[in-house]
Amino acid sequence: MEWSDDAIVLSSRAHGETGAILELLTRDHGRHAGLVRGGASRRVKPSLQPGNGVHVQWRARLEEHLGSFTCELARARAGELMDSRDALAGLNAFTAVTSAAMPEREAHATVYAGGEILLDAMMADDAAHWLPLYVRWEAGLLEALGFGLDLSECAATGTRDGLTYVSPRTGRAVSRDAAGVYASRLFRLPGFLQGNDSEEAHGDEVAAGLALTGHFLLERVLKPHGKGLPPARLRLDAIVLRESE
């Protein structure tokens, strides 16, 4: 068995004296692991840092085997991302959520493409720009996994106007008028998730977006498999909440 693909490095861990087990988000083969011979060497290790883009070739005798990767660095991001506290927090959340939520070897090209855009935006070190993109990426991940939010119209009235909340049970939008006395039980729907890019997303809107996507990732994707939100994702929440106060 053999294939080649473009990928984002999620993690790398030592294996034996000189090798490394590499976990990737690939464009056409989903989340995929493999052995990199010599991956712990001084020459190869810098290319295998989380966030870097690589072109890989995978080989194995049988499809179900771990197999081995040969990697060529295509987009060096790790160094710049690790120089910024906020960007590093975003990178860690991205890699941790991808590893926890995405099924192994199940292709989702849109999740990969969104990840490329998100990580490139993080390199600009402008959290006000990339944090809303991160929330959108999580919403896209939910959509790809079959648990997309329905933000097109009010679940109660069918109106497309005044959508300000989301039901924690159904994931459907709710208008301000329909919410009434139940508003405190609903998630706030930030404007940037409705395609409203006319105004910059403030910290409180980003916090609301993270709370929304985090809830559905936990309840619909992670809990059924006995998992919780990764600590790296919770740290990103804490940073955004602290800076929005």
* Tens digits of residue pLDDT in 16-61: 889 999 999 999 999 999 999 988 888 999 999 999 999 999 999 9
For the domain spanning 2-75, the CATH number is 2.40.50.140
With beta carbons less than 8 A apart as the criterion, state whether 213 and 221 touch.
no
The arithmetic mean of pLDDT across residues 117-132, rounded, is 92
Question: So where are the chain's domains?
Answer: 2-75, 80-151+189-244
Q: How far is CA 67 from CA 37, 61, 116, 216, in A?
A: 11, 8, 25, 33
Predicted pLDDT at 197: 60
The arithmetic mean of pLDDT across residues 159-163, rounded, is 94
Q: Indicate whether 162 pLDDT > 60.
A: yes
Which ranges in 107-202 belong to alpha helices (H)? 109-122, 127-144, 176-179
The arithmetic mean of pLDDT across residues 193-209, rounded, is 80
Q: How far is CA 220 from CA 135, 167, 213, in A?
A: 17, 14, 10
Predicted pLDDT at 199: 54
* Tens digits of residue pLDDT in 70-119: 999 999 999 999 999 999 999 999 999 999 999 999 999 999 999 999 99
